[in-house]
Amino acid sequence: MNKPKFKKIPAFKSALEETRFWQENDSSDYIDWTQAKSVSFPNLKPSTKTIEKKSASSTWRAVFCNPIKENLTMTELAHKEKHGFQTEVTQLLHLMIHSLYSNPEVAFRELISNGSDACDKLRYLALSDSTLLQEDPELSIKIDLDKDAKLLTVRDNGIGMSRDEIIEHLGTIAKSGTKEFVTKLTGDQAKDTQLIGQFGVGFYSSFMIADKVTVISRKAGLPSDQAVRWESTGDGEYTVENTNKLSRGTEVILHIKPDMEAFLDFYKIQAIARKYSDHISLPILMKVPADQAQNKEETSGKEYQAINKGTALWTRARTDIKEEEYREFYQSLTFDFAEPLDYLHSKVEGNQQFTMLLYLPSRAPFDLWDRERKAGLKLYVKRVFIMDNAELLPSYLRFVKGVIDSADLPLNVSREILQGNKLVDAIRAACVKKILQRLSQMAETEPLKYQTFYKAFGNVLKEGPAEDIENRGKIAELLRFASTHSGEETQTVSLKEYVSRMKADQKHIYYITAESFIAAKNSPHLELFRKKGIEVLLLSDRVDEWLMAYLPEYEKKSFQSITKGELDIEETEVDKEAQQAKEKDFETVLTQIKTVLGDKVESVRLTHRLTDSPACVVVDKDAMSMHLQRMIQMTGQAMPGAKPIFEINPEHALVQRLKTESDDEVFGDLTQLLFEQALLADGGHLEDPASFVKRMNRFLIKAR
């Protein structure tokens, strides 16, 4: 058989030229595939069974490893094949140990959780085979420290592992024995289980604090000489050998790294255990080293003592919990020595199951308005602490304290990050609903108690309408305001009460915003409303401008600021005719005032909202209020040239004098004074206070 001739591959000037060449030509005409052990061509990517990309290069190399079939055609080489991913075990372990977890304390949490799972598995299996528990019926987790040998040992008397199981579960990354065990449970067993493990990677976090890990385990029911010893330094390899172990269960021995010797301190381990595993149902036992015993109550190095509470208050029925226990738990949870104002304890069942124990504090913390403050609930999964400040509540409920315990929450592999999905949204919605319902009930049946709450957290609650559109109506029911009805600064008036007192022909809920209650209460804009007996809400909290921007209406009654736009208060025909006559009479005066003030104002017009004051400033209906403009300027942000509308009261003596004043200088001074007075009455600041004082002095001298 004649050897086929292959065309010579041309020299390419660029990668683009080479790519185009191979797109237009058949590579089988140029490359001897049957003879070459390996062929390099930079910009041609053949579809073969074994292709590897050279590091730091774009060269693709086809390597032929099948000696049985060497005469491959281009058609055969290009056919579609399915392959499994390959794993570099050493690199994978390195990533898991150094990248998956952010806090070394998690390693100890994972070992405690593994021990708890092992004991729970044994408890379930013992329901059908009671002999498994006869050897040692008291299930527990014990921790031993050896500072001299730099060893931290965590041992349990749970189910243990056989040789095959230890190879299968510890020798296979991401193989969760707990998850496999749970899938075999049915009915109430699966529902009531407290098993924790999900991913099969938590054990390997031990290498964060240990340079070598030894595991000695004996499965329940097997003789002592069938125990197994597993050991690894976390470099991708491990050893397994048979050994003897008198008791069932597993002990994990950590050979602590030199820079992690803090994990050999009794109080450090005790604090970590209480932080993450204080509420698991098993006792966690430790001996107090003789050199660290601080009082006589601690038995130094002789007997094991429990370092966790072993009970989770929220898992008990409400009828079994005393009020004192609720208070004590709140204080231990928040370090707030004041009693909580109220609490919510509820267990939700259905598509998702979780328990909530939420507290309403009786006073605001000092850092409630700190932007860097982390607020949230403590998250537990089957009694094991997962994270603090879990964002399961919106920001406007950040004052709520408590715990959420769920077996179904979607966590990332390290169990340090809460992943968003429909279940998380459902839990958040359920918590918000319960809190708002309780606040509504408190406002209706316990008004004094609710007033205590609102005084502490009312301003935070006012953030709700902007953040939570779905519950905007419910939040509006909970809001309280000061108003002209009582004239008191205490915010006690609900929107429901306001609406019940509205005039028959009143279309809007009127309000005014100001820098202080006194400024709002004494604002000249209120004069007409007092005359007509119309109630106005007096808003002086900094959040109120933000609130009203997101609260367009309540019970189909729109909100209207009395400092913006024209007032649409009903007028008689006589009033309208009189107003039109005055506008015609003051037409020249209005033009002169606009000439004096120039670009300081948008326009000048007569007002019917004033009865005692000579003038006021307002803005257009859709414009930003003067109060909000000043708030934004105080933050250092530049404001566009928003100009006020200057309104004058034609009935006032000073305005009447303007009409008759013939001296242009006096007219100018009086106009400027009236405008600056209106700005000051509105809570504004003068750009040139010195000129204001001079004008005032000149006017006073001439008035003598």
CA distance 574 to 43: 91
DSSP state of 98: I
Judge whether residue 208 has pLDDT over 60. yes
pLDDT per residue as tens digits for the range 595-613: 999 988 999 999 888 989 9
CA distance 693 to 673: 9
Tell me the whole-structure pTM to 2 decimals. 0.69
53 band by pLDDT with thresholds 50, 70 and 90: very low
CA distance 344 to 360: 8
- Least confident segment among 19-33, 170-184, 250-264: 170-184
Q: Which residue has the higher pLDDT, 701 or 520?
A: 520
Q: Supply φ then ψ for residue 211, to 5 degrees.
A: -90, -10
Judge whether residue 17 has pLDDT over 80. no
pLDDT per residue as tens digits for the range 372-417: 677 778 888 777 777 777 678 898 999 999 998 887 665 544 444 5
Class of domain 576-702: mainly alpha
Judge whether residue 291 has pLDDT over 70. no
Q: Which CATH architecture has domain 90-306?
A: 2-Layer Sandwich (3.30)
Rounded to the nearest angstrom, the gap between the alpha carbon of residue 122 and the centroid of all alpha carbons in its chain is 38
CA distance 538 to 518: 9
Rounded to the nearest angstrom, the gap between the alpha carbon of residue 373 and the centroid of all alpha carbons in its chain is 11
Residue with tokens 């959420």: 404
Q: Domain ranges in the chain?
A: 15-77, 90-306, 315-449, 480-561, 576-702
pLDDT per residue as tens digits for the range 98-141: 656 667 888 888 888 888 888 888 888 887 888 888 888 889 99
CATH code that applies to domain 315-449: 3.30.230.80
**Contact present, 562 and 607 (Cβ < 8 Å):** no
> Which fold is adopted by the domain 480-561?
Rossmann fold (3.40.50)
CA distance 701 to 695: 10
Percent of the chain residues topping a pLDDT of 90: 36
